[in-house]
Chains A and B, each alone.
Chain A
Amino acid sequence: MSGTQRDNGPANSTEAKKTDLRMHERKCSWASYMTNSPTVIVMIGLPARGKTYMSKKLTRYLNWIGVPTKVFNLGVYRREAVRAYKSYDFFRHDNEEAMKIRKQCALVALQDVKAYLTEEGGQIAVFDATNTTRERRDLIQAFVKENAFKVFFVESVCDDPEVIAANILEVKVSSPDYPERHRERVMDDFLKRIECYKVTYQPLNPDDYDKDLSFIKVINVGRRFLVNRVQDYIQSKIVYYLMNIHVHSHSIYLCRHGESNHNVEGRIGGDSELSPRGRQFAHTLREFVDEHKLSDLKVWTSQLRRTIQTAEELGVPYEQWKILNEIDAGVCEEMTYEMIQETFPEEFALRDQDKYHYRYPGGESYQDLVQRLEPVIMELERQGNVLVVCHQAVMRCLLAYFLDKGADDLPYMKCPLHTVLKLTPVAYGCKVEMFYLNVEAVNTHRDRPLGKIPKDSAIIHRRNSYTPLSSHDQVKRPRLYSAGNQPWLPLAPTPSALMPEGRQSQESLCEGIDFDSPDETSGCVRF
């Protein structure tokens, strides 16, 4: 295999810019690359219809496949503007003062959307609000047109009172609007809040007023879908994703194969068998599965011996997926880290510089792995209870999807041997329970290296991962290279919190906006 070229530094500044752009460009995921103009996804629906659930889930998925996406939840803006929520009266459509505030919040949120998509490198903004009137949607459309964004509507329609009640109990009772959390009171107030919206609700009309819009109408939690005028690749993927998720309760169990002979020797990759301790783990795993009494548990493995041997012990049918195979370490397969350090010191250093994007020569990167694993994620969304017996890098990628971890964190997530992670979707996130099955094993985790890694050392061009500029993108936007929500951005809830809102300062957000000035409120159309 011929060696890599070394670039000793470009001669002039335009060259430098081009090189820089190329270096940055190659880090974009394929999915991100295929998305040309920024898109605003606009949620529509009465309260308690799962808009925020879908917004967050969709955002998590899009970020995971490498498309920088962010949610803008109007409720959060409203809570900042009106510090103390008193009652549903705020939402009455004849409450003029409240209407003014709510409209302002929408405008502020849209400004943030604009900033995210044009200056901060975002590609998709999810505008999570009721957006139940044509007026509001027309306002958004005007905004979108003005900024040359695409727009895709996601409407959730539900008339099943049980689903709505369950929704309210699961996420509204713990909302900041109801600090006292008295169930009946919350239910009562919230139902009245919904009634306020119903008065002015104008659902999307595919036959007439809204026939030229691009949208998906999700009816009764996915029993039925109406899809209109899908424009492009990313909208097609969004539709496919929304059609595959469900809200039935289920648990996903992730674990690695039992300790393998290569593990014991400190070798990466390969296709070795289980060590005696690995076999013991497999035996204990069987007890674990029996203990948890999982109905209709599906078991998936890779096509490498060590996961299959582990699953064999369980005595239940299992399915082999080649795409669950461990990351291909190319020329470094079956080496120890010491051997790699000795034989390929440059590669070793490069990997520590950017473990997510680094591709082993003749092998894969974590980024490749994520692309490879997408069908697994899609199928996990469709399924009920599943146990996935896989490998370290693979498990990190899957876990990052469920726990909304970005490219920086993903390659360093802890996935020790002989430990089962149980993931249960709850509210807007995922509950994680860790079960160490008490069978000793070697530690295969390599931490993030300490100290500064010189990032501006001579750049080695990898000729097989070069990605040129595409014609649609001559005006280069700075891109976010780490997939995943950046927690510092205002009003973005931290992924691990079950309490949705963080406590960051919102003054900066409302800076310069004078709610009482006539200019601000002129042209204000009643919501």
Chain B
Amino acid sequence: MLDNEEFMLDSYPRELTQNPLKKIWMPCRNGHIAQRRVCMTNCPTLIVTVGLPARGKTYISKKLTRYLNWIGVPTKEFNVGQYRRECLKIYKSFEFFRPDNEEGLKIRRQCATSALNDVRQYLSVEGGQVAVFDATNTTRERRGTIVKFAEQNGFKVFFVESVCEDPDVIAQNIVQVKLGSPDYLHCNSEEAIEDFMKRIKCYESSYQPLDEVLDRDLSYIKIMDVGRRYLVNRVVDHIQSRIVYYLMNIHITPRSIYLCRHGESDLNIKGRIGGDSGLSARGKEFAKHLRKFIQEQNIKDLKVWTSQMKRTIQTAECLGVPYEQWKSLNEIDAGVCEEMMYEEIQEHYPLEFALRDQDKYRYRYPKGESYEDLVQRLEPVIMELERQENILVICHQAVMRCLLAYFLDKTADELPYLNCPLHTVLKLTPVAYGCKVESVYLGVDSVNTHRDRPENVNVQRSTEDALQTVPAHF
């Protein structure tokens, strides 16, 4: 068929070709594959925080950014305080923030403008989909400026206001994140707290909270008393709905999340991936050590979750406490490669093996899944983990990597290579803006199942090159 004829036959269906890496069927004409970008929103979204200092705006910004990036929405936060620190170099005192400090106001306005310019760059040029503009934005005037900016650039705006009058919460906030701020490196705690309280005062007089009547046409969520109450106004699209759902599920009650894999399994020993085998002798030993560990930790109201595969359930059974099974926690489905050794995959599917090394995050096993699919599958788990308090999740290597990447803010490139060895428990404790990680090896030997990215990922590579990084097995 000639080129021009093809164009005339408008109703003739385009041929489908399957992307060899992601196994997604895409139309192509003359070999040109139509790129489909599945996105959550038609136009970029600008999230704008609102609130007095020490109300958790940066905490929310960072957490939200982390979540959105993890589910695959390119998101970046822009903290105006950072811009101010770059501009000022040295922070002297709260006086900078006094409402009658003309010089201060000028600089602050410049910083906001500079940040907005970077936002525009990120959303319009660099392919970002969501930008989080983290600042106090406490006056209607400032918010009006931002709304106009967004309109000019075709962005949607969603406000996230945090309102809190509980002095304990505010004090806790200051201790956790302000004392360590670059602004107060040269102060002792009392001085810092005193200065910061005065800083808050500077904003209070001009604070115009989002108003039910005056701001009724804006899209926003007002978070009151750290999530006791929410006011949600005019959610207009899917991404805003997801953001609201996420914000309504997070909490700041101190707790710890324990992540570990099942004990060593029979297939692990043989160097085979996937399958549904039981624990090896050493795996059972690990389960006993895990029980001891849990008892020693003396955790209040610990919940235990497993997948629906034998090896995690057997591990949990040993603990002697009730546990809940999630099918979503099942290991990544390796499709036609299930129960194969890496050597066998190289032998039977050398092309697939190479493609996987080229882009391990997006690579989907034939008739199986990719890490990208896994993340989508695990999203409800993450949502529920956010709601929970103390919890132990007994899962699998790929699954644990995905969960860990969420908590430690790892990129899609890093995720598939995170180290999650058998018989090791990771204790994650949210602290300040991030997560403290403690790794506890429970002293029971096991095989190593971690396969690093080999140097040569070319599809023409030799078997030796392909198997360069395969871990030892029986």
Please list the residues of chain A having a beta carbon within 8 angstroms of any beta carbon in chain B. Answer: 1-2, 30, 33-34, 206, 223-230, 233, 236, 239-240, 243-244, 279, 282-283, 286, 303-305, 308-309, 312-313, 315, 319-320, 322-323, 333, 368, 371, 379, 382, 463-471
Q: A323 — which chain B residues lie within 8 A by C-beta? A: 376
Among B23, B308, B309, B323, the one with the most A-chain Cβ atoms within 10 Å of its Cβ is: B308
A224 touches B234 (CB 8 A): yes
- Residue numbers in A under 8 Å from B277 (CB-CB): 2
Closest to A217 in B: B231
* A-side contacts of B308, CB under 8 Å: 464-465
Minimum Cβ distance to chain B for residue A495 (Å): 27
Contact of A468 among B212, B230, B235, B323 (CB under 8 A): B323
Contacts of B359 in A (CB 8 A): none
**Considering the complex of A and B, which 8 residue pairs feature the smallest CB-CB distances, nearest first?**
A471-B322, A227-B230, A225-B232, A312-B13, A228-B229, A224-B233, A308-B25, A240-B245
Distance of A463 Cα from B228 Cα, bound (Å): 41
Instruction: Give A467 to B36 CA distance when docked, in angstroms.
Output: 40
Nearest-Cβ distance from residue A253 to partner chain B, whole angstroms: 20
Contact A229 B234 (CB under 8 A): no
CB nearest to A228 among chain B residues: B229
The one of B13, B248, B313, B373 in contact with A230, judged by C-beta atoms closer than 8 angstroms, is B248
A224-B232 contact, Cβ under 8 Å, with A312-B13, A379-B238: yes
B232 A227 Cβ-Cβ under 8 A: yes
Q: Given that A283-B11, A312-B14 are contacting pairs, would A236 and B27 also be in contact in the complex, using a CB cutoff of 8 Å?
A: no
A309 to B228, CA, bound (A): 49
Given A1-B276, A322-B376: A226 and B16 within 8 A (CB)? no
Known interface pairs A225-B230, A322-B373; 16 further A-B residue pairs with C-beta atoms within 8 A, sorted by A's residue number: A1-B276, A223-B233, A224-B232, A225-B231, A226-B229, A226-B230, A226-B231, A233-B384, A233-B387, A243-B245, A279-B13, A312-B27, A315-B11, A368-B327, A382-B241, A464-B309
A and B contact pairs by CB, cutoff 8 A, 22 listed: A1-B276, A224-B216, A224-B234, A225-B231, A226-B229, A227-B232, A227-B248, A233-B384, A233-B387, A236-B387, A239-B248, A243-B235, A244-B241, A308-B27, A320-B24, A371-B327, A463-B310, A464-B309, A464-B310, A467-B325, A468-B323, A471-B322
**Could you tell me the distance between the alpha carbons of A466 and B228 in the complex, rounded to whole angstroms?**
37
CA distance A154 to B384 in the complex (A): 23
Q: Is the pair A303, B25 in contact by a Cβ cutoff of 8 Å?
A: yes
Task: Given A227-B248, A236-B248, A467-B325, answer yes or no on A309-B13 (Cβ-Cβ < 8 Å).
Answer: yes
Tell me the complex Cα distance, A30–B308, Å. 12
Q: Nearest chain B CB to A283's CB is how many angstroms away?
A: 7
Minimal beta-carbon separation of B340 from chain A (angstroms)? 14
A29 to chain B, nearest CB (A): 11
Residue of A nearest to B338 (CB): A362
CB < 8 Å neighbour of B322 from A322, A368, A469: A469
Measured between C-beta atoms, what is the minimum distance from B92 to chain A in Å?
A: 40
B276 touches A464 (CB 8 A): yes
B248: which A residues are within 8 A, CB to CB? 227, 230, 236, 239-240
CB B160 to nearest CB in A, in angstroms, measures 14
Q: Is A33's CB under 8 angstroms from B229's CB? A: no
Q: B324 contacts which chain A residues (CB < 8 A)?
A: 33-34, 467, 470
Q: Which chain A positions have C-beta within 8 A of B216?
A: 224
| Distance of A283 Cα from B23 Cα, bound (Å) | 26
User: Chain A residues with Cβ under 8 A from B153's Cβ?
Assistant: none
Residues of B within 8 A of A239 (CB): 248
Partner of B229, one of A2, A227, A236, A312: A227
Instruction: Check B16–A312 contact: CB distance below 8 A.
Output: yes
State whether A303 touches B241 (Cβ < 8 A).
Answer: no
B249 at the interface (CB under 8 A from A): yes
Q: How far is the CA of A233 from the CA of B308 in the complex (A)?
A: 21
Chain B residue numbers with a CB within 8 Å of A368 are 327
Q: How far is the CB of A35 from chain B (nearest CB, A)?
A: 12
A355 to chain B, nearest CB (A): 18
Nearest-CB residue, chain B, relative to A273: B16
- Chain B residues, CB < 8 A from A30: 326-327
User: Would you call B5 an interface residue if the criterion is a C-beta within 8 Å of the partner chain's C-beta atoms?
Assistant: no
**A206 & B325 in contact (Cβ 8 Å cutoff):** no
Q: Which residues of B contact A223 (CB under 8 A)?
A: 233-234
Q: Cβ of B244 < 8 Å from any Cβ of A?
A: yes
CB contacts (< 8 Å) of A467 on chain B: these are: 324-325
* Minimum Cβ distance to chain B for residue A280 (Å): 11
Give the Cβ gap from A314 to chain B, nearest Cβ, in Å.
9
Bound form: Cα–Cα A237–B447 in Å: 41
CA distance A317 to B10 in the complex (A): 14
Any A CB within 8 A of the CB of B1: no
Partner of B25, one of A244, A286, A305: A305
- Least distance between B255 CB and chain A CB atoms (Å): 16
Asked if B249 contacts A236 (CB within 8 A), the reply is yes
B125 at the interface (CB under 8 A from A): no
- Interface assignment of B2: CB less than 8 Å from any CB of chain A: no
Given the interface pairs A239-B248, A286-B11, A312-B14, the reply to whether A303 lies near B233 with Cβ below 8 Å is no
Q: Which of A244, A313, A464 contacts B11 (CB 8 A)?
A: A313
- 1/0 per position for B12-39, CB-CB distance to A under 8 A? 0110101000011101000000001010
User: When chains A and B are docked, how far (Å) is the Cα of A33 from the Cα of B11?
Assistant: 49
Q: Which of B24, B313, B325 interacts with A303 by CB under 8 Å?
A: B24
A residues near B367, Cβ cutoff 8 Å: 333
Report Cα–Cα, A223/B231, bound state, in Å.
11
Residues of B near A320 (CB, < 8 A) are 24-25, 36, 38
Contacts of B13 in A (CB 8 A): 279, 282, 309, 312-313
Q: Within 8 Å CB of A322, what residues of B? A: 373, 376
Q: B328: shortest Cβ distance to chain A, in Å?
A: 8
Report B249-284 CB contacts with A as 1/0, cut-off 8 Å.
100000000000000000000000001110000000
* Chain A residue with Cβ nearest B324: A470
B313: chain A residues within 8 A (beta carbon): 463, 466
With both chains docked as a complex, state the minimum distance between the C-beta of A300 and any C-beta of chain B, in angstroms: 11
User: Nearest Cβ in chain A — how far from B241, in angstroms?
Assistant: 6
Smallest CB separation, A341 vs chain B (Å): 23
In the complex formed, the residue of B with least CB distance to A383 is B238
Chain B residue contacts of A464, Cβ below 8 A: 276, 308-310
Which A residues are CB-close (under 8 A) to B24? Answer: 303, 320
B residues 289-344 in Cβ contact with A at 8 Å: 308-310, 313, 321-327
B228 touching A305, Cβ below 8 Å: no
> Contacts A313-B13, A319-B38, A320-B38: A243 and B241 contacting too (C-beta < 8 A)?
yes
How many Å lie between the Cα of A227 and that of B230 in the bound state?
5
Query: A319: which B residues are within 8 A, CB to CB?
Result: 38
Determine the distance from Cα of A236 to Cα of B384 in the docked complex, in whole angstroms.
10
Residue of A nearest to B245 (CB): A240
Docked pose: A30 CA to B325 CA in angstroms: 9
Q: Look across to chain A and name the residue whose beta carbon is closest to the beta carbon of B27.
A: A312
> What is the chain B residue whose CB lies nearest that of A224?
B233
A279, A315, A470: the one contacting B10 at CB < 8 Å is: A315
B27: A residues at CB distance < 8 A: 308, 312
Q: List, in ascending order, chain A residues with CB within 8 A of B322's CB.
A: 468-471
Name the contact of B16 in the complex, choosing from A224, A230, A305, A469 (C-beta under 8 A).
A305
**Chain A residues whose CB sits within 8 angstroms of the CB of B276 once the complex forms:** 1-2, 464
Q: How far is the CA of A469 from the CA of B24 in the complex (A)?
A: 40
Chain B's nearest CB lies how many Å from the CB of A239?
7
CA distance A323 to B18 in the complex (A): 18
Whole-angstrom distance between the Cβ of A362 and the nearest chain B Cβ: 8
Interface centre among B14, B23, B321, B324 (most CB of A within 10 A): B324
Task: List chain A residues, Cβ under 8 A from B38.
Answer: 319-320
Question: How far, in whole Å, are A46 and B219 apart by their CA atoms in the complex?
Answer: 27
In the docked arrangement, what's the CA distance between A286 and B228, Å? 50
- Check A229 against B228 for contact (C-beta < 8 Å): yes
Of A206, A224, A305, A368, chain B has the most CB atoms within 10 Å of the CB of: A224
Which residues on A sit within 8 Å (CB–CB) of B14?
A: 312
Q: Which residues of B contact A286 (CB under 8 A)?
A: 11
Residues in chain B near residue A244, CB distance under 8 A: 241
- Closest Cβ neighbor of B12 among chain A residues: A313
> Complex Cα distance A319/B41, Å?
13
